[in-house]
């Protein structure tokens, strides 16, 4: 950004002057335009000169070297995952997705997490997301033994940071029905208490068809209906789940859940890699929301999700990091490139589509349909990205410019609900050094075996 604030009083009115505004993936590029914000919402998008002429007592933020666009939405995240980045284990990692979970991830990570590890990881993750231009996310905490109140600890960290989020605790019967039901109850309580108006909301959440029985899935569905909240699950992340589901129930996962009356537009299914055309058709028919994780699907050897086929059927997948490589630009490039390679067709997944997945589609997927676009009446969740090098910015190349030729270091401004979270290289809502130091201590505790069960 060129300058600092000028004029400033009236904290509830702010003008952000931009080099250009891209209001959404389908919008046209508007050069020399900016955004007028009142409180938490956008009230106008228009030429900088016009906004300045009617500024009155509004605070003016001069970002005329930045492209303003909707913030990125991380449609599926595990903040706790950063405690296990580059897992410090001796010897070879277990082979296969199921062995990876049962021999390593569950006993060494998920089952050892406690409240202070979880809160510290969330705080650092929020700092990283703010710097990367994420303005909203859906987080799935996988910590079955961490006890009650952990979502409140996460919410505290997210609220301090200032991001928009849907939070949930993954429930399964992996540690027995009682532990699973407690997690369902925890989600229900949290979702009820949070309601549907705040920046941080709750969601019901179950794991998979191989860790949840029919009765448990029904209970999760009923609980979500009681709380009036959305419902998340991991679906067919690799060939393992369909194989297990066929063995146990004689049908593939999408059809098994369908028999239980599970699917509708309140359900967010993440991963969705090992699915057939028939399953995609059913998901589309039921208007299920999808979160796509191009990078982590490769990490676990799960395969490449048939995202172009889903889009063709009318599904609108968001994009997520899965707590793995938490960089929106790398994830967008993964989505842009992988499907072209898999289909041997350079026309699939154009940059505009990827941009939509990372913004409006992602916002709808995680239950904030009002976010993801810069327009009057919408939440003021926006980012500013360096307009500097490269070919001249045009309506035709702006999506490519943002998705392919910028990186997280080019994000210079992050605003959520009208509040500036990041500018001039500083995350303004937290003491970032202290937050990172606290997380380093928690990582050390986890790997010294001093968490739960340690
Ligand atoms: Zn996940």
Query: Are 196 and 223 found together in one domain?
Result: yes
Choice among 132-141, 174-183, 443-452 with the minimum mean pLDDT: 443-452
Whole-model pTM?
0.95
Tell whether 140 is covered by a domain: yes
Question: If you measure from the C-alpha of residue 132 to the centroid of ligand 1, how many angstroms do you get, rounded to a whole number?
Answer: 20
Does residue 3 surpass a pLDDT of 90? no
Query: Are 396 and 282 found together in one domain?
Result: no
Can you give the pLDDT at residue 215? 98
Query: Are 198 and 301 found together in one domain?
Result: yes
Can you give the pLDDT at residue 2? 56
Tell whether 432 is covered by a domain: no
Can you give the pLDDT at residue 77? 98
Query: Are 350 and 384 found together in one domain?
Result: no
Question: If you measure from the C-alpha of residue 439 to the centroid of ligand 1, how many angstroms do you get, rounded to a whole number?
Answer: 21
Contact 359, 25 (CB under 8 A): yes
Residue 433 to residue 416: CA distance in whole angstroms: 22
Does residue 10 surpass a pLDDT of 70? no
Can you give the pLDDT at residue 87? 75
Query: Are 157 and 111 found together in one domain?
Result: yes
Tell whether 92 is covered by a domain: yes
Question: If you measure from the C-alpha of residue 127 to the centroid of ligand 1, how many angstroms do you get, rounded to a whole number?
Answer: 20
Question: If you measure from the C-alpha of residue 448 to the centroid of ligand 1, how many angstroms do you get, rounded to a whole number?
Answer: 25
Can you give the pLDDT at residue 11? 52
Provide the residue range defining the domain that includes 393: 5-70+372-423
Query: Are 289 and 387 found together in one domain?
Result: no
Positive or negative torsion for Cα 49, 51, 57, 58: negative
Q: What is the mean pLDDT of residues 144-158?
A: 95
What is the number of structural domains in the chain? 2
Query: Are 192 and 321 found together in one domain?
Result: yes
Does residue 7 surpass a pLDDT of 50? no
Tell whether 436 is covered by a domain: no
Question: If you measure from the C-alpha of residue 425 to the centroid of ligand 1, how many angstroms do you get, rounded to a whole number?
Answer: 30
Query: Are 263 and 345 found together in one domain?
Result: yes
Question: If you measure from the C-alpha of residue 234 to the centroid of ligand 1, how many angstroms do you get, rounded to a whole number?
Answer: 7
We report the CATH number of the domain holding residue 200 as 3.20.20.140
Tens digit of each residue's pLDDT (9 = 90 or more) over 374-421: 999 999 999 999 997 678 889 899 999 999 999 999 999 999 999 999
Tell whether 447 is covered by a domain: no
Tell whether 450 is covered by a domain: no
Tell whether 332 is covered by a domain: yes
Question: If you measure from the C-alpha of residue 279 to the centroid of ligand 1, how many angstroms do you get, rounded to a whole number?
Answer: 20
Can you give the pLDDT at residue 454? 54
Query: Are 359 and 387 found together in one domain?
Result: no
Tell whether 454 is covered by a domain: no
Tens digit of each residue's pLDDT (9 = 90 or more) over 315-330: 999 999 999 999 999 9
Question: If you measure from the C-alpha of residue 140 to the centroid of ligand 1, how many angstroms do you get, rounded to a whole number?
Answer: 7
Which class for 239: exposed (0-12), middle (13-18), buried (19 or more C-beta within 10 A)? Answer: middle
Can you give the pLDDT at residue 34? 98
Query: Are 294 and 409 found together in one domain?
Result: no
Question: If you measure from the C-alpha of residue 294 to the centroid of ligand 1, how many angstroms do you get, rounded to a whole number?
Answer: 12
Q: What is the mean pLDDT of residues 206-227?
A: 97
Question: If you measure from the C-alpha of residue 445 to the centroid of ligand 1, how many angstroms do you get, rounded to a whole number?
Answer: 23
Backbone conformation region of residue 70, classed left if phi is above 0, alpha if psi is from -120 to 50, else beta: beta
Contact 287, 265 (CB under 8 A): yes
Question: If you measure from the C-alpha of residue 78 to the centroid of ligand 1, how many angstroms do you get, rounded to a whole number?
Answer: 6
Query: Are 62 and 143 found together in one domain?
Result: no
Tens digit of each residue's pLDDT (9 = 90 or more) over 286-305: 999 999 999 999 988 899 99
Question: If you measure from the C-alpha of residue 244 to the centroid of ligand 1, how many angstroms do you get, rounded to a whole number?
Answer: 19
Question: If you measure from the C-alpha of residue 141 to the centroid of ligand 1, how many angstroms do you get, rounded to a whole number?
Answer: 9
Positive or negative torsion for Cα 152, 154, 157, 159: negative
Question: If you measure from the C-alpha of residue 119 to the centroid of ligand 1, how many angstroms do you get, rounded to a whole number?
Answer: 18
We report the CATH number of the domain holding residue 31 as 2.30.40.10
């Amino acid at each position: 950004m060129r300058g600092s604030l000028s004029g400033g009083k009236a904290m509830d009115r702010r003008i952000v002057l931009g080099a250009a505004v891209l209001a959404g993936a389908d919008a046209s590029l508007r050069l020399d335009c900016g955004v007028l914000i009142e409180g938490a919402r956008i009230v106008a998008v228009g030429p900088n000169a016009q906004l300045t002429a009617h500024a009155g007592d509004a605070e003016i933020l001069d970002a005329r070297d930045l492209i303003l666009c909707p913030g990125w939405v991380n449609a599926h995240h595990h903040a706790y995952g950063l405690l296990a980045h580059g897992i410090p284990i001796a010897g070879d990692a277990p082979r296969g997705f199921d062995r990876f979970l049962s021999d390593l991830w569950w006993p060494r990570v998920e089952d050892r997490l406690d409240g202070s590890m979880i809160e510290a990881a969330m705080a650092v993750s929020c700092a990283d997301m703010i710097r990367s231009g994420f303005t909203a996310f859906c987080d799935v905490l996988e910590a079955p033994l961490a006890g009650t109140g952990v979502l409140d600890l996460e919410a505290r960290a997210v609220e301090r940071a200032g991001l928009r989020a849907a939070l949930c605790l993954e429930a399964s019967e992996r540690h027995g029905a009682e532990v699973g039901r407690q997690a369902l109850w925890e989600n229900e309580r949290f979702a009820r208490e949070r309601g549907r108006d705040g920046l941080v909301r709750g969601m019901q959440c179950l794991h998979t068809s191989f860790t949840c029985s029919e009765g448990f899935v029904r209970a999760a569905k009923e609980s979500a209906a009681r709380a009036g909240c959305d419902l998340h699950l991991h679906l067919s992340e690799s060939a393992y789940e369909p194989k297990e589901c066929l063995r146990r129930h004689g049908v593939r996962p999408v059809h098994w859940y369908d028999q239980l009356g599970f699917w509708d537009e309140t359900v967010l299914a993440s991963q969705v890699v090992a699915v057939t055309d028939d399953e995609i058709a059913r998901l589309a028919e039921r208007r299920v929301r999808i979160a796509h994780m191009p990078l982590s699907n490769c990490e676990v050897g799960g395969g490449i999700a048939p995202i172009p086929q889903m889009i063709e059927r009318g599904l609108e997948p968001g994009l997520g990091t899965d707590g793995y490589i938490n960089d929106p630009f790398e994830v967008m490039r993964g989505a842009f490139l992988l499907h072209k390679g898999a289909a041997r067709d350079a026309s699939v997944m154009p940059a505009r589509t990827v941009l939509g997945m990372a913004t409006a589609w992602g916002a709808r997927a995680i239950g904030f349909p009002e976010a993801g676009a810069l327009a009057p009446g919408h939440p003021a969740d926006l980012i500013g990205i360096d307009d500097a090098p490269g070919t001249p910015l045009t309506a035709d190349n702006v999506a490519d410019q943002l998705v392919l030729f910028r990186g997280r270091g080019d994000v210079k401004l992050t605003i959520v609900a009208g509040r500036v979270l990041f500018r001039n290289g500083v995350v303004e809502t937290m003491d970032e050094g202290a937050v990172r130091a606290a997380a380093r201590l928690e990582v050390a505790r986890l790997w010294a075996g001093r968490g739960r069960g340690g």
